[in-house]
Every structure is written in structure tokens, then in C-alpha cells.
Structure 1
Amino acid sequence: MLEQRIGTWLELQDALFAGSWSEALGRHRSTFVFRGMPQVSNDLSTALNRQGLFVRKEKDLLRAFRKYARGDSPPSVESVWDWLALAQHHGLPTRMLDWTFSPYVALHFLTENPERYDDDGVVWCVDYRQTNQHLPRRLKTLLRREGADVFTGEMLATAASDLPAFDHLAKHPFVLFLEPPSLDARIVNQFALFSVMNGPELCLDSFLEAQAEGVRKLVIPAALKWEVRDKLDQSNITERVLFPGFDGLSRWLRRYYSPRGASKLASAPAARKRKRTTK
């Protein structure tokens, strides 16, 4: 794994689009996916296994979600993988982790919260063709037969109809990337996909840190965040686009019109409270 600390906006562009040229296609077509987080200390644990909270409840959570959500679920949701994607999309703790094909969408999630602008952030860049090399043979064959590099729920269901079958495809840890059905405009606009590992307790950090190629961890210093955010706004990479509807519109306007010092003012009372409690 390559870790790189970014110094400027132009250096960031070079790092995000590095390796995007495809000699075979004669086009710039990246095989990387991206995940942006506001703090460099954030790990890649899922909501299911973060601090071990829900690892043993995965089956119960998904069963209950399918039972109670069935009347409102889109007709395109059929396989367990589509159900997992729908559940993840709406905040249920699952073994999935959110990624995007768009480096700028990743930068949005790195800079969406001004209260974190005093912290260094991070963008993970993962080449799915490299991680695919660690897939079990059955999944590699499936990708090759479909002429694909990432999975759909329909494809994955032909190899593993449920989570226990998926977990038994290999004894070694592996990760694959799954592109969900277009459940709503949010998934489409965010150019979203999910990572999935073969075990509810597995954490992607350990897997990626052992990869010699195809993984870049870009550290974005706090001093660069405001420039990144302002240039994303000018490029129309905003909550209004990524979260269509009144909620996204309100989130965008609240952040866009907040004065630059608002984050420090908001965090000051909490800082004073922490200081009092430590005396």
C-alpha cells in the first residue's frame, strides 16, 4: 500500500487520476474506486463490525429488514445482495462499505462537514482489478464470463445465494466490489458501489494494508480542505446533486452559507466543556 501526503490541489488531481490511462482502450478509464473520510484516523470498519457491535446479529438484522421492508421495496430488489444494498443504502448496519467510482464524490464526503476542517482527511483509492486477483476461482470465472470487473447482485447470486454460501467460497479473506441496482437518484448521482468481504467480522484495513499494488491512501491536510470544498462547489459536486430532494437542498444551503469560522465557533463550547472535565 502506498501512503501519500498531498500538498496542493494540482498534486491531488494527479494522485486521484494516476494510472487512469488504458493502453488497450486508448482512453483514460480508471479501474480505481474511491472512499473519502473527514479524519485520517477513520478506519475501514463497517457499521456491522465497528467495535464488534452487530457482528453476531447480521442474520437477525437482515431477516427483520426483509420482513418489514418488503411492502415498500422496489420491484428490482430480488437477491440477498440487492436486499443488502438496499439496507446499506438506508442505514442498516451491514458488512458493506460505501465507495464511489468518482474521485470528486469521494472528496465531497471528505469535506461535507466543516466541523472536521481542522483535521487531516483521507481518500482511499483501490484498484478493483488488483483486489480481484485474490477472489476465489469461482468468482474470477464469473467475472471473466460476464466480461466485467465488478459484480451486480444478479451475478453474485449465481455463485452464492446467501451469506453462508458466500463466506464458504474461500478460506482466505477477499473483497469484491458490487454495483447496486439504481434504487434511486442518490445511488445514481453518487456513482455508488459497495465493498463486501467474506465474513462479518473482517475489516478492510488489514486486507488493503497487505496489498503491494493497487492501493493508495491519500492524506489530505486540513489546510487544503477549504480549497477542495470551494472547488467542488464550483464544480457542482454538492449535497443538492448527491442527495436529490429538499433534504439535500437544505444541507447544501446550510453548509454553503455558513461563515468560514462557524465550525470553530460550534466546536468551542464542546472544547471548553472537555477542558473543564479534565481539570
Structure 2
Amino acid sequence: MNEIVIGSWNELQETLFHDSWMAEIGRFRSRYAFRGLSDKEYALETTLSRLGGNYAELEHHLLRNFRKYAHRSDLLEGDSLWHWLSMAQHYGLPTRLLDWTYSPFIAMHFATANIEKYDVDGAIWAVNYVQVHQMLPSRLKDRLQNEGANVFTVEMLNEVVTSLGELGYISEQDLALFLEPPSMDDRIINQYAFFSLMSNPTAILSEWVEQYPEICQKVIIPKELKWEVRDKLDQANITERVLFPGLDGLSDWLRRHYSPR
């Protein structure tokens, strides 16, 4: 895996936007998913795996009970597994999904939002989701190609795979794919959010991408640079107030903004 240590604000932007030129359409359109972490030592672990114990056996029970108790007409735009899994992840249920964003600046936010972690280096993971999907079995890859899409929607994925068990059996090797959730609320929209998903619930994405170093890079933000990045993001209005619309996001932004250095 390509690991890059950043030396300045300008270098951070240049690195994250590198390789975004698409000659075939004459536009700058990055094909990377970004995930910001406050500590560079954090792995790409899901909330499900962080439960510990026999968490893979609990996944079905967690989702079954979420579906049973979450029946509210204002939330139910679809009834596929992938819709429910996306909604469960969004509302905090431990799942095998992992949060990503299309925006390098939003990834910068999550790498620098926790001021209690300013004594350690942060990191932004960047994974080329187009190249990830090129490694999928034809059954999945063809669905993307027929749609002319680079990332699955819940509807597209449901047309070829309808259960987690079916996804697990579709290949003998562990697979990764990226999934766009429905725009359930402004938080998903403002964070430009989407998810990664492993076919095996026990597979850790940061370990999986080690097999394919050409599709991934880990951008290290030294602790000495975090305050500058944070202050400039605040000036650019990349804050909790925008990314978490509502009084809770406003309170989180004000608490951090007025905390002493």
C-alpha cells in the first residue's frame, strides 16, 4: 500500500486530488472513496467487527430485530435487504458497512474533528472504487456496466444479490464493493456519503487492500498539521453544523470551535 506523509495544507490537497483527471470525458472526476480517521493506527474496521465475540453470528439477529422494530412509514422507501442495511448503518446499528465519502474535504473533517486526538497523527484512506469493482465476478460487474455506473445503488445490487448469504457464496474469495445509500436525510446528502461492503463479515478492508496496493493509498496527516487543517476547514464551512444538520451538530461544532488549544 502506498503511504504518504503530508507536509503542508497545499500538499494535502494536491495528494487527495491527484489522479482525478478523466481524459475520456475531459473533466476532473476522482474515482476514489475517502475515509478520514483521527488516528493513523486505526484499521478499516466495521462497527460490527468492533462488537467482538462471535459478531458474525449476531449480524442476522441485529438486522432482523432492527427491521422488526423500525417500521415507520416515513423511513420505508424500499424493502430490500440493502435498503434496510443502509438505514441500519445510518442510524447506528452495528453492521458490516463502512462509511466513506466522495469528498476529500469531508474526509479531512473526520480526520481532524476529534481534538482529543491531536497528540497523534491522523490519516485519510483513499480507495479506487472503480478498480475494486473491476475485480468483482461478472454477475456483479456486468450489472454496473449495463447501467453505465461505477457504484451500486441499493436497487441495482438487489437485482443481482438479495441476501448476505448469497453475497458470501458468490465467490470463493473475499469481495469488496461500494454501495450508495438512499438519500434518507440531509446528513447523507451533505456528507456526500456512501458505504463499502465486504462479502465476508469477518474480513477487514484494510487487510484486504494490502493484496492490491495499486488501488489504495493512506495519506498521513502529522499531528503538527492538524490545527492548521482544522482551522482552514472551519473557515471553508466544513463543520459539524453542516455535516450533521440539527441542534446536535450545531452543539458539537460550537463545543469544538470554542475549546482551547
Q: In percent, how many aligned pairs have the same letter? A: 53
Secondary structure of 1:216's aligned partner: strand
Partner in structure 1 of residue 208 of structure 2:
207
State the distance in 2 between where 1:109 and 1:203 align. 20
What code does the residue aligned with 1:190 have?
A: Q
TM-superposed CA distance for 1:84, in Å, is 0.4
Secondary structure of 1:4's aligned partner: strand
Q: How many residues get paired? A: 260
Q: Please say if 1:30 is aligned against 2:39.
A: no
Greater mean deviation of Cα atoms: 75-84 or 98-107: 75-84
State the distance in 1 between where 2:102 and 2:165 align. 28
What code does the residue aligned with 2:111 have?
A: L
Partner in structure 2 of residue 247 of structure 1:
248
Contact 1:52–1:201 under 8 Å retained in 2: no
What code does the residue aligned with 2:21 have?
A: W
Secondary structure of 1:74's aligned partner: coil
Partner in structure 1 of residue 141 of structure 2:
140
**TM-score, length-scaled by structure 2:** 0.97
Partner in structure 1 of residue 103 of structure 2:
102
Secondary structure of 1:70's aligned partner: coil
* Structure having the higher Rg: 1
Instruction: Could you tell me which runs of 5 or more consecutive residues in structure 2 were left unpaired when the two chains were aligned.
Output: none
Q: Which runs of 4+ in 1 moved over 3 A?
A: none
Alignment of 1:62-211 (within 5 A): 62-71=63-72, 74-211=75-212
TM-superposed CA distance for 1:72, in Å, is 5.5
TM-superposed CA distance for 1:75, in Å, is 2.9
Partner in structure 2 of residue 220 of structure 1:
221
CA RMSD in angstroms comes to 1.1
Secondary structure of 2:99's aligned partner: strand
State the distance in 1 between where 2:246 and 2:48 align. 28
Instruction: Could you tell me which runs of 5 or more consecutive residues in structure 1 were left unpaired when the two chains were aligned.
Output: 261-279
State the distance in 2 between where 1:111 and 1:55 align. 31
Contact 1:167–1:199 under 8 Å retained in 2: yes
TM-superposed CA distance for 1:70, in Å, is 1.3
- For residues 81-130 of structure 1, give each alpha carbon's deviation from its aligned partner in whole angstroms, at most 9, with x where no partner exists: 01001000111110000000001101111111111011101100011111
State the distance in 2 between where 1:16 and 1:249 align. 28
